[in-house]
Every structure is written in C-alpha cells, then in structure tokens.
C-alpha cells in the first residue's frame, strides 16, 4: 500500500537539558534534568502526521549505532513505512544538543552525522514512494541537493511542502520554485531575506522577498501569534491567529505544525489554505503544552472531532 505522506528528511537523537534559562555565551548554567529522546525535523514531522492518523513513509539515513535501532522501533510503533531508511556503516546518527528553559524556549545545536549521507541515489531508490504519495515533505537538515532532487523527481506528481528549517542562507531558487508551499519561522525568514518579520509591514516585506525568490506559496509561522501566508496569486499576507497558551516546551512545535499541515492537505484536500493553517496551528499549540517532541504531538483522540470534518 502507498503512504499518503512521504518525508525525505532527517532523524536526530535529541540530548535535551532542561534548565532554568538558556545559557548566555560563556555562561554555565546548572540544569534540572536530562533526557535522551528521538527527534530530527524530518522524523518529527512524519510522526506528527502519523499520530493524526496519516499513513506515512520516511526516506532517511541513520548511523550504525544502537540509537538507530531504537529509532526503527519507534517508526514501527507509529506504523511508519521504513523500507527506505538506510543504516550507514561507520557513521553516527545525527544528534541534537537541546536546551529547554523554564519559559518553554529552546536552543538547539545539530550535528547531522549520517543525515549528510542521504543521497540522490537513495532518493532514486524511493522514487515510487515519493511519486505516489499525496504530499512530499522536506526540511533543511539533509543535503539541499538531495531535497532538490526529490522535488525534481516528484514534479508533476502532486503537492510538495518544504520547511526551510534550520535556516539556510543560499537556497537554490530552483528548490523554491519546485515546492508548492515553502514554510519558515521568523528567524529562518530573517536569515533568508534580511528582514526581521516583526509587525505586519515587515512580515509582508519578508514574505514578498521569499515570493520574489521564486516561492509559490509562503507560510510564515509566528509562534503563539499563529501564522501568515501569501502566494504568487495573492501577495498580500493573511494572518491566521492561534490561541495563546503558556508553553512548557516549544521544541518541535514547528514540526507539529508541518506534520499537521501535510495531514490536512492530504486527507482534506477540499479545505481552504486558511482552514488548513488554522487546524495545523491548533495541533502545534497542543504540542507546546507538553514536554518533548513526539510525546507532545497530539493524536486524533486528543483533539476536537471538529478538526477532522
């Protein structure tokens, strides 16, 4: 059976310190607790979609360590198709060093490890899965040339969503032109455009610059403020607001949003963009109320049935 959503993206092992605050440069902070969990933007987005009930597949590259074996078990548990997950000999799985502060903010350093080996040939091998899905979802933690290749291979077969995270400076305009929806948060938008999207007029400016670079539709996620979007057809941004909450851990909130967006686009293709974004914001908001990434992503039964009609 074909998966409705395919992610070509990263897996990371998250080494997370919970701390009263984020350390300043040169500062040592005494943390409160430490956890090893499973993350990576690609895998997180895939799990977020699967938890909502999507059939999903991941094309990814893990290292030759026990973490990789554990990760395969997690994918199995979420019923994610792993037939295109490769184990790279003599490489370590990607890792993320994460600090989560009491106010829910986080900072992350990623060492991509085996994710760097996600190759064009690997993507070619998964061509059927990539072409037959309703949605292709990619991020920037795996090589950009591989993402570009996946988008080329997919051209003419259906919707592609790219999450430009983490921030990248020189993104090939071909990549931006090939994806239907390009989604970034405020910091990522600033790195790509030089405009800090604070306030309506700067949001509009940043989004316009991304449209000028070739994006078809741009979604700018705004944390607790929700998201804004615009397209080549209608370049004036539309704001979709989210319900403000008191977050405990915002790690992976963007991934919850992207996984949910892919879910609603795949399973409710008749919904307007406004409505898909609004529903994806609801899912992301849920995720910041719980610690961790996967564990904080809601399942369908945790959410109002209204979201699924």
Residues 3-32 that bind ligand RIB (CB under 6 A): 12, 14
Inter-residue contact 183 to 258 (CB < 8 Å): yes
Inter-residue contact 2 to 46 (CB < 8 Å): no
Applying CB under 6 A, the span of 123-131, 189-197, 240-248, 249-257 interacting with ligand RIB comes to 249-257
- The residue annotated as part of the active site, out of 102, 180, 255, 274, is 255
Q: Pick the binder of ligand RIB from 19, 114, 160, 251 (CB under 6 A).
A: 251
* Tokens, residue 167: 């921030």
Other Cβ atoms less than 10 A from the Cβ of 65: the count is 17
296 in contact with ligand RIB (CB under 6 A): no
Q: Pick the binder of ligand RIB from 104, 113, 226, 254 (CB under 6 A).
A: 254
Inter-residue contact 63 to 85 (CB < 8 Å): no
Q: Which of ligand RIB, Na ion, none sits in contact with 146, Cβ below 5 to 8 A by type? A: none
Q: Which of ligand RIB, Na ion, none sits in contact with 110, Cβ below 5 to 8 A by type? A: ligand RIB
- 212 is known as an active-site residue: no
Three-state secondary structure call for residue 227: strand
Q: Pick the binder of ligand RIB from 39, 104, 164, 226 (CB under 6 A).
A: 39
Name the residue with the smallest CB distance to ligand RIB: 39
Strands in 106-111's sheet, in edge-to-edge order, are 33-39, 12-19, 94-101, 106-111
Q: Which of ligand RIB, Na ion, none sits in contact with 294, Cβ below 5 to 8 A by type? A: none
Indicate the residue among 141 and 286 with the shorter CB distance to ligand RIB: 141
Other Cβ atoms less than 10 A from the Cβ of 289: the count is 14
108 in contact with ligand RIB (CB under 6 A): yes
* Tokens, residue 154: 């997919």
Q: Pick the binder of ligand RIB from 3, 44, 114, 160 (CB under 6 A).
A: 44
Distance in angstroms (rounded) separating the CA atoms of residues 300 and 108:
29
Q: Pick the binder of Na ion from 287, 294, 298, 307 (CB under 5 A).
A: 287
Q: Which residues contact 181 (CB under 8 A, 6 or more apart)?
A: 159, 160, 161, 162, 216, 217, 218, 219, 261
Distance in angstroms (rounded) separating the CA atoms of residues 94 and 12:
5
Q: How many CA atoms lie less than 13 Å away from 286 in the CB half-sphere?
A: 25
Of 229, 209, 214, the C-alpha closest to 280 is 229
Q: Pick the binder of ligand RIB from 110, 162, 207, 276 (CB under 6 A).
A: 110
Q: What does residue 78 show for φ and ψ, rounded to 5 degrees?
A: -90, 10
Total of residues contacting ligand RIB (CB under 6 A): 15
249 in contact with Na ion (CB under 5 A): yes
Q: Which of ligand RIB, Na ion, none sits in contact with 249, Cβ below 5 to 8 A by type? A: Na ion
Binding site for Na ion (CB under 5 A): 249, 287, 296
* Active site members: 255
Binding site for ligand RIB (CB under 6 A): 12, 14, 39-41, 44, 96, 108, 110, 141, 251-252, 254-255, 293
């Amino acid at each position: 059976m074909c998966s409705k959503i395919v992610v070509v993206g990263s897996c990371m092992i998250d080494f997370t310190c919970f701390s009263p605050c984020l350390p300043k440069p040169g500062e040592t902070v005494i943390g409160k607790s430490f956890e090893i969990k499973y993350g990576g933007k690609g895998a997180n987005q895939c799990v977020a979609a699967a938890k909502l009930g999507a059939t999903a597949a991941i094309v990814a590259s893990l290292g030759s360590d026990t973490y990789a074996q554990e990760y395969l078990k997690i994918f199995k548990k979420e019923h994610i198709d792993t037939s295109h997950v490769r184990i790279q000999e003599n490489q370590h799985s990607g890792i993320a060093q994460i600090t989560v502060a009491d106010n829910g903010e986080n900072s992350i350093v990623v060492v991509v490890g085996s994710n760097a080996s996600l190759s064009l040939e690997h993507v070619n091998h998964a061509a059927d899965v990539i072409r037959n899905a309703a949605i292709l979802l990619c991020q920037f933690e795996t090589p950009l040339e591989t993402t570009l290749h996946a988008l080329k291979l997919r051209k003419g077969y259906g919707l592609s969503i790219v999450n430009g995270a983490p921030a990248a400076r020189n993104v090939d305009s071909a990549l931006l032109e090939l994806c239907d929806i390009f989604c970034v948060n405020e910091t990522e938008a600033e790195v790509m455009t030089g405009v800090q999207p604070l306030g309506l007029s700067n949001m509009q400016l940043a989004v316009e610059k991304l449209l000028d670079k070739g994006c078809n539709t741009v979604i700018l996620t705004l944390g607790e403020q929700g998201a804004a979007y615009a397209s080549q057809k209608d370049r004036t941004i539309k704001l979709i607001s989210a319900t403000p909450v008191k977050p405990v851990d915002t790690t992976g909130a963007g991934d919850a949003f992207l996984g949910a967006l892919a879910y609603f686009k795949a399973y409710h293709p008749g919904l307007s963009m406004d409505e898909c974004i609004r529903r994806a914001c609801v899912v992301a908001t849920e995720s910041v109320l719980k610690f961790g990434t996967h564990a904080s992503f809601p399942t369908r039964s945790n959410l109002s049935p209204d979201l699924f009609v």
